[in-house]
Structure 1
Amino acid sequence: MTLSLLERVQAWLFRAVMAVLFGLFRVLSPRTGDSRKLPPVDQPLLTVSATQLARRIRRGEVTSVEVVQAYIDRIQQVNPLINALVKDRQEASQVDKLIEEESGGEEALADRLPLLGVPVSIKEAFALQGMPQTVGIVSRRGTVATVDAAAVALLKRAGAIPLGVTNISEVCMWGESHNRLYGITRNPYDLERIPGGSSGGEGSLLAAAGSVVGIGSDIGGSIRMPCFFNGIFGHKTTPGVVSSDNHFPPSSGRYEEYLSVGPMCRYAEDLLPMLRVMAGPNAHRLSLSEKVDLKKLRFFTISHDGGSVLTSPVDRQLLQVQRQVVEHLETHLGVQVQQVSFSELRYSFQIWDAYMALPDDQGAPPQAFCEVLGTPGHPVWPVWELMKWMMGRSDHTMAAIALALMEKTRSSTAPPSSSLLRHKEKLQREVDELLGADGILLYPSHPNVAPRHHHPLFRPFDFAYTGIINILGLPVTQCPLGLSSEGLPMGVQLIAGKLQDRLPLALALHLERVFGGWRDPGAQ
């Protein structure tokens, strides 16, 4: 795949301008010099998967109170450093009494309450009864959920115990979890780095061993980027399988086609049981009980997006670790991994941006970002907010203001260009045909390991590596693959055909055994 001379010039000019702005930002912005480290995990209960914890609780080998207390103690250790949990719940549980009264035995409990006694953290965008649901908007301060989101209710019904709600980016629309209400969340591997967004609080808390499983939402990479930056597992489900009811902001336009709700966790074996619970009545659509033989699958790999004008080049270490996955699959599974490419991937951001603006079947456009920022009052005026920000008086982050300004410069009624529609339709057709019902595609999660705080402002389109998969409507498992030379997590996206979620889940479980999965950031 080659770029035209015009595209190469455009790429050079864009990166040159971003480099100049980025250089000015580094010179003018204060450096925190935060070299503090997380304490290592020293409580054995914190290094046990949710699946194993539930089994041990059912057998009476450990009480739920002991498990929850171990996590509360860990949160008190790490949250002052990472600022991931914004409101704790710390509720007393009747789990241990329930076990004593259960007459059907362990198997009956496992079938009825598969997550009995397991602590779970919840992204603040989801309604958790009695907990804040502000999505980082100052004007929503004091907003408290009166019900549980559908996925949260299913987890609680399965016996999970919510620890509290975690920080997010403002209105869930940025790759860094920072807002004027709760502040900035930090990456546990390096406090000067971002944990990603919008489910960044989840990613940070899980990686810091402050929770064992959590719940996130993803419309452009909001599960996968935090999981990638924090070295944990996450799964973006096939859209429409897990309900997004009582998630804020609510879906509008055609967002339901691109939004996915899914599990985030430190241990790969927890992904499938979490997904089975969260999918509820739709779980049968995924055939999660069907055994997966990796040796009978077809594998493909793509190293980069083909040279988009807007995205950064993929880091050499990420390319190398992806090649290591390919070599392992070919050597140890005896499969052939085919290198493929799609020329349309270089337009990933443009496709994502165009399709996010499409109206629904009744012709209603998605709710304007400025309107959501102003809830429950009037829409935000971004030019005025920019002026206030320059004087340190705005209630909004620069990222949110910049997004609002971009929205104002784009006509909400203009349909996507015919060329973009053709690019998307061609890409959809080719990827669907390639993957079928037995294919898995390896694709970079992001061009770089976790950037420093605020640096995404100068690389705003790098999320296109995850965002394009939302528009294609495909399930993806984010899989950690060890640490870079800087001690930061690396990983890869494992992409499958629609409703074939069980395939990348199985591969993630295999790769965890080979590459080691989650690493304790306090021990690095």
Structure 2
Amino acid sequence: QVTCVEVVEAYVERIKEVNPLINAVVKDRFEEALQEARQVDKLLSEGLGDDYLEEKFPLLGVPITVKEAFSLHGMPNTSGLVNRRNVIATSDATVVSRLKQAGAIPLGVTNCSELCMWYESSNKVYGRTNNPYDLQRIVGGSSGGEGGVLAAACSVIGVGSDIGGSIRMPAFFNGVFGHKPTTGVVPNDGQFPNAHGVRTSYLCTGPMCRYAEDLELVLRVMAGPGVSKLKLNEKVSLEKIKFHCMDHDGGSVFVSPVDKEILQAQKKVVEHIESDLGVRVQRVAIHKMKYSFQIWSAMMSSKDSNGQEAQRFTDLLGDHGKPVWPLWELMKWLVGMSSHTLPAIALGLTEKLMKLNHSGNAKLVSMGKSLQEEMEALLGQDGVLLYPSHPTIAPKHHSPICMPFNFAYT
């Protein structure tokens, strides 16, 4: 038996030990966490009963970390944007508040990519986060700090968000577990940048955990009343699930081939499911997946059902500062004078180019809707698709810029 203070102290010491190597926690709140741990120990000493405490505080005394893009009172909230380096959160994001109310103790905030729109967690405010299994490799993004801190045993639960793989890739690269929930289940309030227009259909806040068994409980807490949209209380018979598998996207010219070791791992999963459950895993080929990147890009920049334009990325780059001109920013970057990362500048340029091809974008949006219908028809209410989270294992630092569309698998 240990006290909550002893648990928190152990995680604090672990962060102090490994964070100089991985640079995942960008701002800590150790003193506040220890004070909260003392309050938990005091509560436990009052003899209120385990059943009462478990129901009222399901995460009582559990150390957590939070992606820096989310508001955590008293912590920075820059999202890796230099112009926001003096922004300090004066309140908690909704999900952070719910986790605190459930008894969780935040230890600090973790690194992300600039404006959460790249799959290497590196920016001009905090620098680069390194994979704890190989410091020469990336942790993914944009919730990469969370992936790294969980893999390094510095935390057991993390808060992430995902609009194009930002929970799923870090979970994959770091060997931990992440879940992008159904849209509208978990509130996105209190993060920067938040989604507007059509992007509200893509941005999801979700749990990241060191242990898979914790995902359901954390999802319940984060969702609050929204959990009623799910069927988590219904028993599931795995033997009655329809399993499908797809090894790759069909050969997009913009994306790397899937690594042999990933194909081998997926093959082992299929063999295990078939032998353990006695079911057949159906191989499928969804041809439109080859165009995932193009579809995602077109739909992200399209108008919503009310005709509202998507928020421009260049406007976000100019938050708390002057307007940003991507081409001029690229010139500045070439001579080392830009306060923005190259991926952010490249995304600003890509956004400009995408708007020049209206008819092509409209066709891709239509293809995206057709792909969604095809997926819904395939999976129904009881289907699972086994599909790689990324075509390669965690890449070496800087290499994603050479294959920028590999995130299309998510």
Q: What interval of TM-score do these two structures reach, taking the shorter chain for normalisation?
A: over 0.9
Other structure's SS at 1:430 match: helix
Q: Is the 8 A contact 1:253 1:357 kept in 2?
A: no
Counterparts in 2 of 1:251 and 1:412: CA distance versus 1, 3 Å: farther
Tell me the equivalent position of 2:98.
Answer: 154
Q: Is contact 2:119–2:140 with CA below 8 Å preserved after alignment?
A: yes
Match 2:15 to one of 71, 75, 79: 75
The 3-state SS of whatever aligns with 1:401 is helix
Question: CA offsets per residue over residues 492-514 of structure 1, 9 Å max, x none?
Answer: xxxxxxxxxxxxxxxxxxxxxxx
Does the residue aligned with 1:195 lie in a helix, a strand or coil? coil
Deviations 1:317-352 (A, max 9, x none): 101110100001101110110001111111101110
User: What aligned pairs does 1:401-480 form with structure 2 within 5 A after superposition?
Assistant: 401-411=345-355, 414=358, 417-466=361-410
Please point out which of 29, 35, 45 is paired with 1:89: 29
Match of 2:275 among 331, 338, 348: 331
CA contact (8 A) 2:298 2:354 kept: no
Query: Structure 2 vs 1, CA of residues 372 and 421 (structure 1 numbering), >3 Å: closer, same or farther?
Result: closer
1:384 is paired with a residue of what secondary structure? helix
Of 42, 63, 66, the match for 2:6: 66
Of 382-391 and 63-72, deviating more is 382-391
Match of 2:338 in 1: 394
Aligned twin of 1:11: none
Deviation at 1:412, TM superposition (A): 7.2
SS of the residue corresponding to residue 272 of structure 1 reads: helix
Aligned mates of 2:40, 2:382 — CA distance in 1: 40
CA distance in 2, matches of 1:408, 1:421: 17
Following the alignment from structure 1 to structure 2, what is the Cα–Cα distance between the partners of residues 279 and 170? 26
Q: Which ranges in structure 1 are unaligned for 5 or more consecutive residues? A: 1-60, 467-524
Q: Is the 8 A contact 1:242 1:278 kept in 2?
A: yes
Give 1:408 shift. Answer: 2.2
User: Structure 1 residue 202 and structure 2 residue 152: aligned?
Assistant: no
Count of aligned pairs between the two proteins = 405
For residues 502-513 of structure 1, what are the structure 2 equivalents within 5 Å? none
Contact kept, 8 Å, 2:298 with 2:362, in 1: the verdict is: no
Q: Which residue of 1 is the match for residue 46 of structure 2?
A: 101
The equivalent of 1:173 in structure 2 is 117
Give the letter aligned to residue 101 of structure 1.
E
CA distance in 2, matches of 1:102, 1:291: 34
Letter of the 1:317 partner, please give it.
E
Q: Distance in 1 between matches of 2:112 and 2:361?
A: 33
Q: Which residue of 2 aligns with 1:278?
A: 222
- Superposition CA RMSD, Å: 1.3
What is the aligned partner in structure 1 of residue 210 from structure 2? 266
1:293 deviation in Å? 1.7
Q: Which amino acid aligns with 2:118?
A: W
Structure 1, residues 450-495: CA drift from partner, whole Å, max 9, x if none?
11111000100010000xxxxxxxxxxxxxxxxxxxxxxxxxxxxx
1:106 & 1:218 partners in 2: Cα distance?
A: 35
- The separation in 2 between residues aligned to 1:384 and 1:434, in whole angstroms, is 46
Unaligned stretches of 5+ residues in structure 2: none
**Which one-letter code corresponds to 1:240 in the other structure?**
G
| Gap change, CA 1:163 and 1:464, over 3 Å in 2 | same
% of aligned pairs identical?
A: 59
How far the C-alpha of 1:155 sits from its partner, in A, is 0.4
Q: Distance in 2 between matches of 1:360 and 1:416?
A: 17
Q: TM-score, normalised by structure 2?
A: 0.96
- TM-score, normalised by the number of residues in structure 1: 0.76
Give the aligned partner of residue 316 of structure 1. 260
Q: Please list the CA deviations of residues 179-229 of structure 1 after superposition, one character each: whole Å capped at 9, or x if unmatched.
A: 000000000111110000000000011101111110100000000000100
1:351 and 1:283 mapped to 2: Cα distance? 29
Aligned mate of 1:117, from 35, 58, 61? 61
Which stretch shifts more, 308-317 or 385-394? 385-394
Q: Alpha carbons of 1:425 and 1:367: their partners in 2 closer, same or farther (altered >3 Å)?
A: closer
Tell me the distance in 1 between the aligned counterparts of 2:355 and 2:14. 48
**Quick check: 1:85–1:164 contact (8 Å CA) kept in 2?**
yes
1:133 to 47, 52, 77: 77
CA gap 1:422/1:265 in 2 versus in 1, 3 angstroms: same
Matched letter for residue 440 of structure 1: V
**CA distance change for structure 1 residues 151 and 179 in 2, over 3 Å: closer, same or farther?**
same
* 1:403 Cα deviation from its structure 2 partner: 1.0
Aligned to 2:406, the other structure's residue is in SS state coil
Match of 1:358 among 276, 282, 302: 302
Q: Secondary structure at the match of 1:71?
A: helix
CA–CA separation in structure 1 for the residues paired with 2:91 and 2:208: 22
Partner residue, 2:317: 373
In structure 2, what is the equivalent of residue 189 of structure 1? 133
Opposite residue 225 of structure 1, the aligned amino acid is M
Shift of 1:116: 0.1
What's the counterpart of residue 30 of structure 1?
none
1:83 partner amino acid: N
**Contact preservation (8 Å) 2:299, 2:368:** no
For 1:379 and 1:393, the matched residues in 2 are separated by 16
The residue number in structure 2 matching 1:232 is 176
Give the deviation of 1:416 after TM superposition: 5.3
Distance (whole Å) between structure 2 residues aligned to residue 413 and residue 118 of structure 1? 50
Counterparts in 2 of 1:366 and 1:237: CA distance versus 1, 3 Å? same
